[in-house]
Structure 1
Amino acid sequence: MAEIFGELLTIGLMAFALGMDAFSIGLGMGMFKLRLRQIVKIGLTVGLFHVLMPMLGIITGRFLSDKFGEIAAYIGGGLLILLGIQMVLSSFKKEENSLISPVGFGLLLFAVSVSLDSFSVGLSLGIFGAKTAVVLTMFGAAAAILTWVGLFIGRKVQGWLGSYSVTLGGAILLAFGIKLLFM
Structure 2
Amino acid sequence: MTSIQWGEFMTLLIMALALGMDAFSLGLGMGMLRLNRREISKISLTIGFFHVLMPLIGMVAGLYLAKAVGDMTKWIGALLLIGLGVHMVWNSIKGDDDDAQMRSGSRTAGLGLILFALSVSIDSLSVGFSLGTLGANVAIAVALFGICGAMMAATGLSIGSKASHLFGEYGEAIGGAVLVAFGVKFLL
Structure 2 length normalisation: TM-score?
A: 0.94
Report the Cα distance in structure 2 between the residues aligned to 1:43 and 1:128, rounded to whole angstroms. 29
1:25–1:64 distance in 2 versus 1, CA, 3 Å: same
Structure 1: runs of 5 or more not aligned: none
Query: Which ranges of 4 or more aligned residues in structure 1 deviate by more than 3 Å?
Result: none
Report the Cα distance in structure 1 between the residues aligned to 2:95 and 2:176, rounded to whole angstroms. 17
Alignment correspondent of 2:119: 113
Alignment correspondent of 1:156: 162
Query: Contact conserved, 1:28 with 1:159, CA < 8 A, in 2?
Result: no
> 1:13 corresponds to which letter in structure 2?
I
Report deviation, 1:41.
0.5
> 2:162 corresponds to which letter in structure 1?
K
Alignment correspondent of 1:82: 83
1:8–1:38 distance in 2 versus 1, CA, 3 Å: same
Aligned counterpart in structure 1 of residue 171 of structure 2, from 138, 160, 165: 165
1:158–1:178 distance in 2 versus 1, CA, 3 Å: closer
Query: Contact conserved, 2:31 with 2:156, CA < 8 A, in 1?
Result: yes
> 2:77 corresponds to which letter in structure 1?
G
Report deviation, 1:159.
4.0
Pairwise CA RMSD? 1.0
Report the Cα distance in structure 1 between the residues aligned to 2:113 and 2:157, rounded to whole angstroms. 13
Q: Deviations over 1:47-96 (max 9, x none)?
A: 00000000000000001000000111110000000001111111112232
Query: Contact conserved, 2:25 with 2:164, CA < 8 A, in 1?
Result: no
Q: Secondary structure of the residue that 2:101 maps to in structure 1?
A: coil
Aligned length: 182
Report the Cα distance in structure 2 between the residues aligned to 1:160 and 1:6, rounded to whole angstroms. 31
Are 1:20 and 2:7 matched, yes or no? no
> 2:75 corresponds to which letter in structure 1?
Y
Alignment correspondent of 1:33: 34
Alignment correspondent of 2:101: 99
State the identity %: 48
Report deviation, 1:160.
3.6
